[in-house]
Amino acid sequence: MDTFSINAEKANTLVDQFLVNFKDMFGPQIDPTTIAQFGQFKLRNMGNARIYDLTLQGVSNIQRVGQIEVHANGQMKLWSISANLSIANITASFKVDALVRKGLYITGWTLQALIDRCLMRVKLDYDQTSKMMTIHELIADSIVGFTLNTDNLSWPFSDVVAQIVDRQMDQLKRVISLSAQKYFTETLKSFNVSALIERMPDKKMF
């Protein structure tokens, strides 16, 4: 694909306006995001653990990071936008049941985690003929600054917490990206991309 020449400020505005529409339309639905059964896993040198009743708050606070990239295929009248996104200050609360060792079983253990940032990347495809925009991919790449709020814990409880942090990051990223993708898709159904494009200075796209 050839790089699509467009005013950078206008291209960024397109994505920013989409994120505003997303939050205005679905912010109350995505915050909080609740997952009844988050996951089960085997604790090293212990028994099994189950995480459930997960509640995420703050997932709707998605912002663009840096400049977007726009690529176009003039013959097919298709173009795509790639953007880096960031969600700041997510709170995650959940419960844990765990068999720590024979005769020692934790049930209904409530924990809360603070996430400084979740970094994501999205690629949106736009068909100029149909004037439809769709999500090509949306991926949560990394979680930065994950802190579990707990009292001073002694072993074996401290080890359980460490294993939760170590083992559940990928699942947490997956939950965040799926939740964002669901409501991104709904937002695109009423997002008038062509009207915004028409207001851009360089109307001749291809």
Query: Any idea which residue has 């072993």 for tokens?
Result: 155
| Pick from 86, 91, 103: nearest CA to 142 | 86
| Pick from 155, 129, 128: nearest CA to 70 | 128
pLDDT digit string, tens, across residues 25-51: 999 999 999 999 998 888 888 888 999
Q: Mean pLDDT: which of 47-51, 85-89, 108-112 is highest?
A: 85-89
Please tell me the distance from the alpha carbon of residue 147 to that of residue 155, in angstroms, as a whole number: 18
pTM: 0.83
Please tell me the distance from the alpha carbon of residue 40 to that of residue 36, in angstroms, as a whole number: 12
Residue 116 pLDDT exceeds 70: yes
pLDDT at res. 6: 53
Domains of the chain as residue ranges with CATH: 2-198 (3.15.10.50)
